[in-house]
Amino acid sequence: MDSVANIILYFVVALCIVIFSVLTVTSRRILRAATYLLFVLIGVSVFYFQLGYQFLGAVQIAVYAGGIMVLFVFAILLTHRPDQKTGLLEQHRRTVGISLSVLSCVLLLLALFFMPLIGGESLSASIAAGNDITMHDIGKAFTGTDRFQYLLPFEAVSILLLSCIIGGVVVARKR
């Protein structure tokens, strides 16, 4: 039995996510779209907190909301005039997009509702079933080579980020 506060929080956040994600993709002013996306990202991070992954929520806010969104905003400011509306594609493309996405949405939702799902117990029970994930655990998971330890991907990602930095510099450099 989950607390009413949790449930209310859920509904608020879910509604927020749904509305803003739709707005993100429908708004024709790109800076606004980015702002709506920011709200969605924050909403997702709230879910992470609610699900008991505090570190993940923090990373979500720090990297996405803090880092990536700033990049987006810079890019938008660099490439758009303030009152510029983005152009539209041809009508049939949009029809295809709408129909496909609505269709897939309906299909997925139907699947969700009509397929038997396991793991139907409450959130509090699930949180209770797992251990608290401490920073210690996460650190250990990233620095070992045993089962369920991820040193190699971690290093790979670090190299990826490095190359990304270099790549970003090279690509964006003025010729």
Minimum CB separation of residue 133 from another protein in Å reads: 6
Our finding on whether 54 is near another protein (CB under 8 A) is no
Q: Which of 12, 22, 139, 151 binds another protein (CB under 8 A)?
A: 22
Residue 70 in contact with another protein, rule: CB under 8 A: no
- What's at 153, amino acid-wise? P
Pick from 5, 39, 82, 117 the residue near another protein by CB under 8 A.
117
Amino acid making up residue 55: F
Angle of helix 69-79 relative to helix 30-50, nearest 10 degrees? Answer: 180
What is the distance between the alpha carbons of residues 123 and 3, in angstroms, rounded to a whole number?
10
Out of 12, 107, 143, 144, the only residue in the binding site for another protein (CB under 8 A) is 107
What is d(CA 88, CA 56) in angstroms, rounded to the nearest whole number? Answer: 36
Please tell me whether residue 47 binds another protein under the rule CB under 8 A: yes
CB 86 within 8 A of CB 30: yes
User: Please, what is the minimum distance in Å from the beta carbon of residue 83 to another protein?
Assistant: 15
Instruction: Rank residues 145 and 171 by Cβ distance to another protein and give the closer one.
Output: 171
Question: Which of 5, 83, 129, 136 is close enough to bind another protein by CB under 8 A?
Answer: 129
State the first-to-last Cα distance of the chain, in angstroms, to the nearest integer.
62
Identify which of residues 83 and 160 has a Cβ nearer to another protein in the complex.
Answer: 160
Q: Do 24 and 86 contact (CB within 8 A), yes or no?
A: no
Helix axes 4-26, 30-50, angle to 10 degrees: 160
How many chain residues bind another protein (CB under 8 A)? Answer: 90
CA angle 98, 103, 109 (to 5 degrees): 125
Q: Name which of residues 77 to 96 contact another protein (CB under 8 A).
A: 78-80, 86-89, 93-94, 96
Secondary structure of residue 21 in the 3-state scheme: helix
Question: Does 135 contact another protein by CB under 8 A?
Answer: no
164 is an interface residue for another protein by CB under 8 A? yes
Shortest approach of another protein to residue 151 CB, angstroms? Answer: 12
